[in-house]
Amino acid sequence: MVSTRVLTPMQAVAWAAFFNFVAAFGFGVQVAKTVGKGVVEAGVVDQWVILGALTGAIMWNLITRYFGIPSSSSHALIGGFSGAAVAKTGWGALVATGLIKITVFIVLAPILGMALGFIVMVATLWTFRSARPILAAHAAIGLGTMAGGWRIVKTMGMRLTKLRPVGGFCAETAGAVMLIGTAVGGIPVSMTHTITGSIMGVGATQRLSAVRWGVAGRIVWAWVLTIPLSAVLAAATWLVLPHG
């Protein structure tokens, strides 16, 4: 929404702040419950595991932000949580069923986002084929854009494919539909992954070559590496904490 000039940075941040606050009242906290109870055995968690998890996740987010790579903060936290717990008590600390569900949706979320983005874009173009729309999409980009997220905004909004306001609207709408469904279902998916898939779906309505697949490939590698590398960073952090 910022890169297509539909919203100014301050307007985007205002929307993000508002909806980040009210979302839990509308869609519940099922995702938070899944992360809190479905990744690591509850008895393993203490303040040191939490500190290690947060440190590992933050370090990975800073690395990907520096290189302008859209990665998942949710998955970084899950990886950090897992790595710190394994460092403390071994692999038995992990809840396999929860991690399998998360891994499956690492693949499904961007694919479904791409399909929905394609469908919404085609439907929008068909609906307004005889008129010049005045369209606006009220969607959140996130408070992080004000703290150094501009490289990621540039990658998502300009380098992945060429977006117009109508394309941004369709991508955000498709992403929102997907994310609302997974939030209600308590499935921790990545907003970044989903909206990336939606943007690719929107770009593909022009022609497949309109999507810069080389850029998309580098983004996918970041998705694959987020959980394991966050886990390694978190485990290393836990090991060097004073109790170690």
Rounded average pLDDT over 110-134: 75
179-217 pLDDT, tens digit each: 777 777 777 677 777 777 777 777 777 766 666 666 667
Rounded average pLDDT over 65-74: 76
pLDDT at 138: 33
Q: Binning pLDDT at 50, 70 and 90, where does residue 133 land?
A: very low
Q: Does residue 101 or residue 158 have the better pLDDT? A: 101
Among the listed ranges 81-85, 93-97, 113-117, 133-137, which one has the minimum average pLDDT value?
133-137
pLDDT for residue 119 is more than 80 = yes
* Average pLDDT over all residues of the chain: 75
Among the listed ranges 33-37, 123-127, 141-145, 214-218, which one has the minimum average pLDDT value?
141-145
Among the listed ranges 30-34, 88-92, 94-98, which one has the minimum average pLDDT value?
30-34
Gap between the Cα atoms of 75 and 111, Å rounded: 17
pLDDT for residue 244 is more than 60 = no
Show me where the domains of the chain are located: 9-238
pTM: 0.59
pLDDT at 15: 78
pLDDT at 135: 34
Gap between the Cα atoms of 157 and 140, Å rounded: 14
Rounded average pLDDT over 19-45: 77
